[in-house]
Structure 1
Amino acid sequence: MRHLIELLDGAVQDAYVEAGLDYRPRFTPVMRALAGGKPHTVSQIAEVAGITQPAATQTVNLMVKEGWLVAQSSPTDARQKLLVLSAQGKRLLPKLQACWRATAAAADDLDTELPHPLSDTLARAIEALERRPFGERIRKAKE
């Protein structure tokens, strides 16, 4: 599984470099969540992106540091930070979206060569693991 992820993620990273973008694939769920222009809290990003709160927090902090996002105080709750795309994020969004379209087309192409589409298999694996986590399956296998 790690080798598959390395092959896919490495190629996606290379596509960003070729497009002249200093961008990490892990930023994509956050960028997609904010692409509509509406500010989000970290919790909202985590929910929309389907990632954990700690992963969202870590990614958002890195993206703010690298200039992709800006954190603003919420007008209704000063304790809460709202995140939006920075000027850099807005300017580079069209290039990113072109990369995402190319990546989706490449994934569709890969699916045509497989006996069962990888995207369907992964979606079903995620659903199965959400019903019964892998850790639970390991514990049961030890019995």
Structure 2
Amino acid sequence: MRPLKDLLDTMDAAIAELYAERGVRGVRTRFSMALIRLHHLGPMPIKELAAQIDVTHSAMSQTVTEMRKEGLVETAPGADARTREVALTAKGRALVPFLEAEWRATEAAFGELDAALPYPMTRVIDDVAAALRERPFLDRIRAHLPESERP
């Protein structure tokens, strides 16, 4: 699994380098889609934003905390005491046009990379998903545990 993590880290670092070249400070790549969704859909509870981005509530809560520290979003009490409403600040809104352009450029670069390969990356992902449907990853891990550690 290390090669996949290395590949994703390399791609993430390239985007971070682009941010630095453009003078975009305090923005992590994982903020982009949340900021874009808030721009297009307006303020929403953390739980709804997490669903929009397809991450856990906990992960989005941490991301919102980091974005708030950077002055990109603000939070306010939601409809009930258990919720927090997230909204863009002026600083966050100002970044969205660049983030949208970067997102489109990243998707185009990914498509170009995919076309340069002898087979589509999506085929690999589909094949891995099919193999995991046949035998879940947890079963595969358990098979490699010593007998004494198996359930």
Shorter-chain TM-score above 0.5 = yes
Shorter-chain TM band? 0.7 to 0.9
The TM-score normalised by the length of structure 1 is 0.83
Misfit runs of 4+, over 6 Å: none
Q: Which whole-Å CA distance do the structure 1 matches of 2:134 and 2:50 have between them?
A: 20
The TM-score normalised by the length of structure 2 is 0.79
Q: 2:98 maps to which residue?
A: 95
Question: Which sections of structure 2, spanning at least 5 residues, go unmatched?
Answer: none
Cα RMSD, aligned residues only: 2.5
Q: Which whole-Å CA distance do the structure 2 matches of 1:55 and 1:21 have between them?
A: 23
Cα distance, 1:42 vs. partner? 1.3
Judging changes above 3 Å, is the alpha-carbon distance between structure 1 residues 77 and 18 closer, same or farther for their aligned structure 2 residues? same
Question: Which sections of structure 1, spanning at least 5 residues, go unmatched?
Answer: none
* 2:60 aligned with 1:59: no
* Percent identity over paired residues: 36
Query: Following superposition of structure 1 onto structure 2, how do residues 58-137 of structure 1 map, counting pairs within 5 Å?
Result: 58-74=62-78, 76-119=79-122, 121-122=124-125, 125=128, 134-137=137-140
Structure number with larger C-alpha Rg? 2
- Count matched residues: 142
2:34 counterpart (30, 53, 57)? 30
